[in-house]
Amino acid sequence: MSEAPILKDTTRSSGREALQKNIQAAMALAEAIRSTLGPKGLDKLLIDDEGRTLVTNDGVTVLETAKVEHPVAKMMINASSTQDRIAKDGTTSTVILAGEMLQNAWQLILQGIHPSTIARGFRKSEQYLLQCIADIAFESDRDMRHTVVKTALAGKGHSSMQEIVAKLSLEAVEMVADEDSSVDLSKIKLISQTGGIVEDCIVLRGLMLPKKRISSNMKKEIIGGKIVLIDGGLEKKTVSSDLKLNVTTTGIFESFRQEERKMLKQQVDQLVSHKISVLACRESIDDEIRNYLAEHGIQAFRRVARSDLNMLAKVCNARTVGSVGDLTDDDVGAFVSSKNITLDNKDFWVVEGSGNAATIVAKASTVDVVGEVERCFDDALGVSVQLIEDGLVVCGGGASYVALARRLRRYAETIPGREQLAVEAYADAIEVIVRVLAENAGIDPISALLDVVAEQTNADSNNIGINLQTGRPDDMLSHGILEPKGIVRQAIIGATEVAISILRIDDVLWAKQQMEMPELPEDEM
């Protein structure tokens, strides 16, 4: 038989060589954002193809902005993105943990341990730690939640910015929380403005949109009433096809205009019959019926974005309809108040509906700073949601990871065979958080980790972590350095999943890409 290769035009890397290259790629990515972890972490300057710059130390922002080609590195980025979507924090920790797990796994592979054995040990470690997290977590109160949100913002901006962002985010989430403590983040709108300072940021109850009523004759504020949301407009219909009209009477055009005005007024009369007080349209509202709307006490807004209409529908328990003619009683929503306000010489429409909503106005001096403030609010809101819905927190400063590693080592003693080595390697890997925190603060990482482990063991406490101000072990609870349990839990899940996925790859096939001349159309050949 012919010995022609089956995989034609394909570069193949298999066995230990493939695993080594994959682990190197994962570790390289982890090293790229290692210096951003913690309150003493440094920033990254990102420059795109058009020369625009972005300064941030948000791990997922760095990873998603950078152009990465290696498929394993993309797997790591996906794990970080998942952490950001679910927990809103801990994105850097997830990548660092995964990189350390793979590095420790490689040392075991060099000793002759099969990757499948290591993967089984890692899975057992993950399952055991998910049970142990409940043992080190505790309920948070209102004051404690504020410190937790501040901890999530550590290293992002100055202390006064962290204070105001944490305070406003927690207030906004509390405004939209239901009676069962569930939170819909889509009911919180973030508006950005340049030209101020971060301390000028505010939070308002209700939904605020950069809109002004279409006529000054309309009421500026209405307390209580019904609202209609139109995914269209109130304007004259245009002819959809080319027509030729023979005009035989001089007043024919005027009769056309009168009929159009009559049809528009009929739509307004239909709104009046439903006792509508506020009208919001995605498209335009004809100028000729402005006064007619005002005469009937209807406050109208035009060119409202579809996304804002969807938010209004949630806030006012309304349904968006295509036209006034399609309107039914079930589509009508209710509001508590609808008013126009002026903020920094800009007009806004504030709606407080029967459903809870909140608006945060983020301010800063420049566009770059506003962008960083927006990212801080995004993280702070996500952390606040976890605190309201769950309420369980753990100590920061690496304390929770050391406490889990201590328990995991005792668990490893009960596991026979080579999987015990994998469990111990996993325990070593999750302690990397303390080492990186100390390293970024200019503290000896090995000594810091040993001191924290010794202090936790001697005091039999889960609250001892690294104090980056003194460089010594300290009680994180007394200093208010806390984080939601969900962040640590998701970081462990995400890091373990991506580490096991990479360990199970023993063959990489790269299809060769060759440049080809495009085929010309037949008429050009």
pLDDT 10s digits, 124-180: 999 999 999 999 999 988 888 888 998 888 877 778 888 999 999 999 999 988 888
Per-residue confidence band for 53, with pLDDT thresholds at 50, 70 and 90: confident
In a domain, 4, yes or no: no
In a domain, 5, yes or no: no
Residue 76 shares a structural domain with residue 198: no
pLDDT 10s digits, 273-326: 889 999 999 998 888 888 888 888 999 999 999 989 999 998 898 999 988 888
Task: Choose, from 36, 91, 151, 359, the residue flagged as catalytic.
Answer: 91
Task: Choose, from 56, 58, 231, 428, the residue flagged as catalytic.
Answer: 58
Beta bridge partners of 361: 191, 202
Active-site residue flag, 379: yes
Residue 303 shares a structural domain with residue 429: no
Q: What is the CATH classification number for the domain harbouring 53?
A: 1.10.560.10
In a domain, 524, yes or no: no
pLDDT score for 279: 93
Active-site residue flag, 143: no
Mean pLDDT of the chain: 86
In a domain, 3, yes or no: no
pLDDT score for 525: 42
Residue 222 shares a structural domain with residue 348: yes
pLDDT score for 452: 96
Active-site residue flag, 58: yes
**Region 364-386 average pLDDT:** 87
Q: Of 301, 329, 355, which one is at a domain's C-terminal end?
A: 355
Distance CA 256, CA 121 (A): 81
DSSP string, 191-228: EEEESS-GGG-EEEESEEES---S-TTS-SEEEEEEEE
Nearest to 227 by CA among 355, 118, 76, 341: 355
Residue 220 shares a structural domain with residue 168: no
pLDDT score for 247: 58
Q: What is the CATH classification number for the domain harbouring 281?
A: 3.50.7.10
Residue 344 shares a structural domain with residue 212: yes
Task: Choose, from 92, 147, 151, 320, the residue flagged as catalytic.
Answer: 92
Distance CA 493, CA 477 (A): 25
In a domain, 200, yes or no: yes
Residue 158, C-beta contacts closer than 8 angstroms, at least 6 positions apart: none
Angle at 283 between CA 282 and CA 287, to 5 degrees: 130
Residue 212 shares a structural domain with residue 202: no
Residue 23 shares a structural domain with residue 91: yes
Q: What percent of the chain has pLDDT over 90?
A: 47
Angle at 310 between CA 307 and CA 311, to 5 degrees: 90
pLDDT score for 95: 94
Residue 311 shares a structural domain with residue 217: yes
Residue 28 shares a structural domain with residue 87: yes
Active-site residue flag, 48: no
CB atoms within 10 A of CB 495: 30
pTM: 0.79
Q: Of 307, 337, 355, which one is at a domain's C-terminal end?
A: 355
Distance CA 318, CA 311 (A): 10
C-alpha distances in Å from residue 340, one per residue of 21, 280, 315, 325, 337: 60, 14, 17, 28, 10
pLDDT 10s digits, 369-378: 888 888 889 8
Q: What are the DSSP E strand ranges found in 313-357?
A: 320-321, 333-343, 346-353
Helical residues (DSSP H) of 34-89, grouped into ranges = 59-65, 71-86
- Count up the domains in the chain and report the number: 3
Per-residue confidence band for 3, with pLDDT thresholds at 50, 70 and 90: very low
3-state helix, strand, coil in the chain (%, to 5): 50, 20, 30
Residue 40 shares a structural domain with residue 163: no
Q: Quote the DSSP letter at residue 285.
A: B
In a domain, 130, yes or no: yes
Burial profile 185-213: b = 16 or more Cβ within 10 angstroms, e = fewer: eebbbebbbeeeebeebebbbbbbbebbb
How many CA atoms within 13 Å lie on the side-chain side of 102?
A: 32
Task: Choose, from 89, 231, 286, 379, the residue flagged as catalytic.
Answer: 379
Could you list the residue range(s) of the whole structural domain that residue 372 is in?
141-206+361-390
Distance CA 227, CA 243 (A): 38
- Find the range with the poorest average confidence among 202-206, 257-261, 430-434: 257-261
